[in-house]
Amino acid sequence: MTNEKQVNEYIANRRNNLKALINAGVNPYPIKFEYDITPAQIKEVFEKYDTSQLEELNKKVKTCGRIIAKRVMGKVTFMHIFDEGVKLQLFFAQDRIGKPQYKLLKKIEVGDFIGVEGVLFRTKTNELTVNVESYTFLSKAIRPLPEKWHGLQDKELRYRQRYLDLLSNPDVRKTFVLRSRIISEIRRFFESRGYIEVETPMMQLIPGGAAARPFITHHNALDIDLYLRIAPELYLKRLIIAGFNKVFEINRNFRNEGVDPQHNPEFTMIEFYEAYADLRDMMRITEELFTAVCDNVLGTKKVKYAGQEIDFSTPFRKMTMREAIVEYGDGIKYEDLNSRETLLPIAKKLEIEDYEKLNYGKLLSEIFDAVAEEKLIQPTFITEYPIEVSPLTKTIEGDDRFVDRFELFIAGMELANAYSELNDPDEQLRRFKMQLKEREKGDDEAQMMDADFLTAMEHGMPPTGGEGIGIDRLVMVLTGSPSIRDVILFPYMRPRKEEK
């Protein structure tokens, strides 16, 4: 018998039981159920009570949940219901609920939802249980839960049917509860420091703030093309210009790029900007933020990820991009990194794609990615990025080839990107023009000209520090999740043939 045939027979049996319930006068999908306590609250409050204490208390409860187990033993039946990650036992006795209602229990199955009212007690095996006096049928499940077929193990199916993944895998549920707590702690951290949370457009005329290929959509009424944002940066800077000195946005971004364990086409970041601050302030805030999240959510600064122990104790390590290349580059010397001509043979040896077409900054960045990035396991700030890959950042005093920027790497991944923000409109115009030349050469990730942003800058922008942190990747590290799909509730999946 094939699995498909089993499922079809299962569904047919469920529909027969649904029909039997309807014929017995039961509404299989009632509007509402008034409960006074959840299974989780029952366990939290009454788990400490022993048998005699429960007998003396004689506590009646009204609760509900999904049936995940059922055992019929003649004129008594045991069930377990599940709600918000907690399991609670129910006990049904024919002589207590009446023969007609007990007989109807045969049509109520694993996966269905039920509401019950009864008194708490402990069974002979000492399990906290509701001695059911009455029950209400709440919803019929037509399809089988994963446990019916030995659990949900297929990883692709788990991503496609996340609702079943969450039901059958407690660790997955725990990951997403932790994700929610991490985001709440991030929000609390910034609000406690006087930052204002804002919202900026997700559809933009000009996609800016990052080097990425955007998604394009069309507004019918205005008959214009719009882009899903790749970053909120340029709008948040407009708010700095407007006099909001500390702003942050927990935002969804969209980038039309590949899908792999570190990338999803839509993802979550926090970007924050502070007037009169610079890159050193962003480093300090980043260390304080990660410390707060570790202490207040995890209770530890040490986590396991991909077989490595990551230590979030501060201060984090600091290296320039060139220092990292020399340290991890297997014989590469500092003097080899001074010009495009000296970089070309290194790029050739590393088999960097189209290396002969790249400028100095792009070559240096590609070489860093190839030799150093995956080796940066402990939290490390990489500084001094080349100007060609940092069009929105102030240059370092004394060397205008490099800018005042860092990226934070943990477990071989970039988690944060910060600048001493460029606030000279004339220099910003020159940088935009440099980017346009790169686009003309075929770089569709180079930034576009945003004339409106330049106009805003011409009204005066204070010195500013700004940063973006990838929340998905942070959650990956803090929960030990190997793929970004493991920390996004509904990750992008290629449609199956039957869905096209």
Report cis status (omega within 30 of 0) of the bond before 315: yes
How buried is residue 29: exposed, middle or buried, by Cβ count under 10 Å (0-12/13-18/19+)? exposed
What is the reported pLDDT for 492? 86
What is the reported pLDDT for 4? 80
CB 385 within 8 A of CB 405: yes
Residue 326 identity = V
CB 473 within 8 A of CB 413: yes
What's the pTM?
0.92
Provide φ and ψ at 21, rounded to 5°: -65, -45
Copy the structure tokens of residue 282.
């962003």
Question: Chain centroid to CA 158: how far?
Answer: 16
What's the CA gap between 132 and 255, in Å, rounded? 53
What is the reported pLDDT for 2? 52
Across the 500 residues of the chain, what is the mean pLDDT of every consecutive 10-residue run? 77 95 96 97 97 97 96 97 95 97 95 98 97 98 71 73 87 96 98 98 92 93 96 97 98 92 96 98 98 98 97 98 96 94 95 94 97 98 95 92 97 98 95 88 84 96 98 98 96 72
Q: Which residues contact 16 (CB under 8 A, 6 or more apart)?
A: none
The H-or-E segment that residue 298 falls in is none
What is the reported pLDDT for 1? 40
Mutual angle of helices 340-349 and 360-371, in 10-degree steps: 40
CB 452 within 8 A of CB 234: no
Contacts of the segment 133-137: beta carbons below 8 A, 24+ positions apart: 133/60, 133/96, 133/97, 134/97, 134/101, 135/92, 135/97, 135/101, 136/30, 136/33, 137/21, 137/26, 137/27, 137/28, 137/30, 137/108, 137/112, 137/113
What is the reported pLDDT for 165? 87
What is the reported pLDDT for 420? 97
What's the CA gap between 105 and 120, in Å, rounded? 20
Residue 334 identity = Y
CB 50 within 8 A of CB 94: no
